Structure 1
Amino acid sequence: MGNALRFLWGNCCKPSTQESESLGPHGVSAATVGVSALSHDLFHFDITAQVPEGLSQHVVSLKKAQANWYRKLLDAWKETKSPPKTPEEASRLVIQTLKRHQKADVEGLLAFYGLPLPHTLEPVPLSVPVGVKFELQTLPVDAKAVADGDTITVYVDTSDPRESSAVPRDVQFAAIERSKARAAKDYVKADALHKNIIDAGYRVLTGLDNEDILARKYRIRLRGIDAPESSMPFGKEAKDKLIKLVQGKCLKIYVYDTDRYGRSVGDIYSNGVFVQETMLKKGFAWHYAAYDRRPELALWENQARAAKVGLWAQSNPEKPWEWRKDRREGR
């Protein structure tokens, strides 16, 4: 992408001396075609698995890591409802997708495309839906954390301001002592300490740079939908679809309530995609109208019914809440 764009930019739209000084190393400026350059390079990577030439001059990580960035950015670009149209939007997508990578790499990548650096962006006004008790920003989700089509387990970094003040002192102490035990190669002690941490609702995870991250565990029940149970028809398919939507992603979760099983009931967004919407539209869940009256959920279920997709390919699919009731009553 880089060579072709530089040729077109240099010969068709050659800037004045003053303008050329503001160009990024990719041959574009933030006010012109940086977004197109990134879009083109992601398309090129999708076909060839090759990162742009010259990128290594502006970042600190090697090409294997660079390829990992482009895979993540490609997924994020494809999954967002409205692909970035402005340099600011593209910059925010890069920053959000690569937020756990080294600062020098993220800023080098942005500069390569002439996109705004993090400190130059205006803060986005917060818009939290009515009724939300709190918001979670999770660590990347593991596929094993998905129990079925409507329940997942997530972890939140305790360095998050909301979490940091709530970590029990014995958990903090155990995390420090575990680190010391591992450094001394006393893995029996380290494992025992980690078990205590897990029993308290936390876990020590490994970050991208192999650093230890103390994280809090949350069990999430997707608000407003009810997916088929694992042993029901389309139960496996519903779980697989949810895995595909969340695996490896850092999720935004708006928590509204806690159910009788201690799960946080919330709306989940994965790279800007509303997960419940996708599950309903693809026919992998019912609208759980007994607990959520939002009309858009009913609309999305009806659209899937009409198209006979997913579980609606069956003539008379059993409702999961009725299936559970029958088994409780021994029918």
Structure 2
Amino acid sequence: MGNALSLKSLFGNQTNQESDSVSGCVSALAHDLAHFQITSQVPEGLNQHVASSKKAQAKWYNKLLLAWREANPPPKTPEQASRLVIQTLKQNNVDQGLLKFYSLPIPHDLIGSFPPPWPKGVIFELRTLPVDARAVADGDGLTVYVDVADPREAANVPREVLLAVSKRSIARASRDYLMADGLQRKIAAAGYRVLNGSNNEDVLAKKYRIRLRGIDAPENQMPYGLESKVELTYLVQGKCLVVHVYGEDQYGRLVGDVYCNGKFAQEIMLKKGLAWHYKAYDNRPELIKWEKDARVARVGLWAASNPEKPWEWRKANRQGRGILELIIDLFKLMADYLFRGNHNTKRR
């Protein structure tokens, strides 16, 4: 990748002996920057470490290339290369992916400023905008929004959504609120929403429905259902969340672990006795322990001797609704039969 002249400019006026002593991971980054200088192509395999578009990745490499040229002297050790990446990009999720890709270490004095690595099984991570209280459906489900400026979202916004946002801004400026509201509905139908940002500016955000992984809270109509919803609302209202996504359920919701200011939402719900451990889908030992401790302490729903399980309640109510619908259909058939009989008698 690259050529001798480009590599020489990236490594500076080092002697052959000094160049030979440059770490392999530093050399790999320098080679990829030289290659990018010539081809404008980022290295293959980077997508496995960063969840961003090729366009966004190209911007990072362009910044890194400029920073590397301006460094005096150029990075020679892995720690020096790591610091250059961190100082240039200033985005923790991007930094960590690139550092991992090149096997570069996080400098010792900066370890605390980085979030811990994703647990096994995490597909991707969401970093949300502040959560509205009305977005909490119950004790184990909520709706969140992610700013499309996030590298993972930026390249995936449909063109028609961007056009609708632009037209909506023009409509609002001209006080055509009927048109603006119609465009807002079009944006919402595509899974997006224009929100009011911290500086009173419009922020386009992607909507995600989240199901808290590993727990099952009482339904709102069940005992402790309202308390469970209120507790989750209290935890997340007005705060930005970190969601580790593991998959998607049959209703199109993302199943994930929810963190709020460093607090693990599922841990709080289980310890306060406001949710069951959903053993059928998650057998993590810490969830088992938190539910067991709440049972022993008889807190929340465990104050009852034999609380009804949410999944059994849903099953019973689905069956009940099925019987009710059958009865209603029979009454409709009987009413139709009587009506037709009366109508035919009158015709005679």
TM-score, length-scaled by structure 1: 0.63
Question: Pick from 159, 167, 170: which aligns with 2:160?
Answer: 170
Residue 175 of structure 2: aligned partner? 185
1:219-260 per-position Cα deviation (integer Å, ceiling 9, x unaligned): 000000000000000000000000011000100000000000
Q: Report matched runs for 1:76-91 at 5 Å.
A: none
Deviations 1:16-55 (A, max 9, x none): xxxxxxxxxxxxxxxxxxxxxxxxxxxxxxxxxxxxxxxx
| Identity over aligned pairs, percent | 65
Deviation (angstroms), 1:126:
5.2
More helix by share: 2
CA distance in 1, matches of 2:250, 2:310: 18
1:327 Cα deviation from its structure 2 partner: 1.0
1:157 aligned to 144, 147, 157, which one? 147
2:216 aligned residue (215, 226, 247): 226
User: Is structure 2 residue 128 aligned with structure 1 residue 148?
Assistant: no
In structure 2, what is the Cα distance between the partners aligned to 1:317 and 1:125? Answer: 38
2-structure distance, mates of 1:148, 1:301: 19
Among candidates 120, 132, 150, match of residue 122 of structure 2: 132
Q: CA RMSD in A?
A: 1.8
> Any gaps of 5 or more consecutive residues in structure 1?
1-95, 97-119
Aligned mates of 1:304, 1:322 — CA distance in 2: 21
SS at match of 2:235: helix
How does the TM-score come out when normalised to structure 2?
Answer: 0.60
Letter in 2 for 1:146: V
**1:197: which partner in 2?**
187
Residue 316 (str. 1) matches residue 306 (str. 2): yes
Shift of 1:134: 0.6
Distance in 1 (CA, whole Å) between partners of 2:216 and 2:285 is 16
Q: Distance in 2 between matches of 1:126 and 1:190?
A: 42
2:270 is matched with which residue? 280
Other-structure match for 1:256: 246
Aligned residue type for 1:314: A
Residue 124 of structure 1 and its aligned partner are, at CA, apart by 2.0
Letter paired with 1:206: N
2 CA distance for matches of 1:187 and 1:138?
A: 28
Q: Secondary structure at 1:254's aligned position in 2?
A: strand
Which residue type is aligned with residue 282 of structure 1? K
* SS at 2:256 equivalent: strand
Structure 2 spans left out of the alignment, 5+ residues: 1-90, 92-108, 324-348
Deviations 1:236-285 (CA, angstroms, capped at 9, x unpaired): 00000000110001000000000000000000000000000000000000
> Which residue of structure 1 aligns with residue 8 of structure 2?
none
